[in-house]
Amino acid sequence: MKDEVDHVFRKSASPAAIATEVTSLSWLAEATVKGGASVAELLRHDSGWLETRRMRHGSPTADESRTFGRRLAMTHAAGASFFGAAPPGLTAGSAVLAELPSPAVELPTYTSWGAFFSALRLAPHMKQAQDRGCFDGDQAERLWSVIDRVAAGEFDAEQPSAVRNIPIGSAPIRAQPAVARIHGDLWGSNIVWAHDEHGATGTLIDPSAHGGHAETDLAELAVFGSPHLEDTIAGYQEVSALSDGWRERMPVHQLHMLLVHVVKFGGGYVPTTVGVTDQLC
């Protein structure tokens, strides 16, 4: 019995958070069998807890980070039906991220990424942050100006290009969909570099998956850093080239994660959020 416990990671959270994670893990795992990124193995769950297979942590090499990038491209290529689509089995309005509302939609509602991202990712958390007095008047004005520009489509871009150089063992996907299947909360600590005798494998944990833009996952990896990030991006682009101007768009994709941190943890994240905003003004 002890050996079984030692090999299991148990997590407790609200029913909404557990439902979001369970359905997200399952949806992302569908892409794994087609060559997508590895996903934590879900063993059991109930309304307030879940258990996954415990992983031994390692440190990736540059080549292993590059492999993760290739596999992440294949995850995104698995696609979603529309912007804001929830994982199958999840009630759209109950989706959360870090126990904060992270709403999805049941039916196609937004015709562009910018309309979706501003309405369901940026504006709700900006309102929460403002209600808590996190930003002064000038900071809030600049942030809302950027959110309005996102809504208007100023930062919209094509998804990465058609899939090429498909990793060995992957399904023969030949084109990226108009809407990517993304992790949705992909900061560096939500990748476990699971180590075994073959090396370290980038494995996704704690997702809030939905239909979104592939650039969001990559931009969020850069917020707090990820090992060999440039190698991850290079591996990604071996499979699916990012659209021109993707580096300049990274700050707008990062705003969501930063606003979540402002709401959750307060003023310590305000200067970074304002600095990212100023890059876009």
DSSP calls for 31-77: HHTTT--EE--EEEEETTEEEEE---B----HHHHHHHHHHHHHHHH
Cβ atoms of 181 and 35 within 8 Å: the answer is no
Across the beta sheet with 191-196, what order do the strands follow?
A: 38-39, 199-204, 191-196
Q: Work out how many domains the chain is built from and give that number.
A: 1
Which CATH number does the domain housing residue 54 bear?
1.10.510.10
Answer yes or no: is 31 within a domain. yes
For 217-251, letters b (16+ CB in 10 Å) and e give bbbbbbbeebbbeebbbebbbbbbbbeeebeebbb
d(CA 75, CA 33): 10
Answer yes or no: is 176 within a domain. yes
If you ran DSSP here, which 8-state letter would residue 189 be given?
A: G
Residue 176 confidence (pLDDT): 66
Q: What residue type is assigned to position 203 of the chain?
A: T
Residue 4 confidence (pLDDT): 46
d(CA 188, CA 259): 17
Answer yes or no: is 125 within a domain. no
d(CA 65, CA 59): 10
Domain range holding 211? Answer: 2-112+156-244
* The model's pTM: 0.93
Answer yes or no: is 145 within a domain. no
Residues 6+ apart with CB under 8 A from 245: 157
Q: What is the pLDDT along the chain (281 residues), one digit of tens a residue?
A: 344 456 899 999 999 999 999 999 999 999 999 899 999 999 999 999 999 999 999 999 999 999 999 999 999 999 999 999 999 999 988 999 999 999 899 999 999 999 999 999 999 999 999 999 999 999 999 999 999 999 999 999 999 986 766 676 666 655 568 999 999 999 999 999 999 988 999 999 999 999 999 999 999 999 999 999 999 999 999 999 999 999 999 999 999 999 999 999 988 999 999 999 999 98
Answer yes or no: is 46 within a domain. yes
Q: Which two tokens stand for residue 182?
A: 């993304």
Answer yes or no: is 273 within a domain. no
Answer yes or no: is 121 within a domain. no
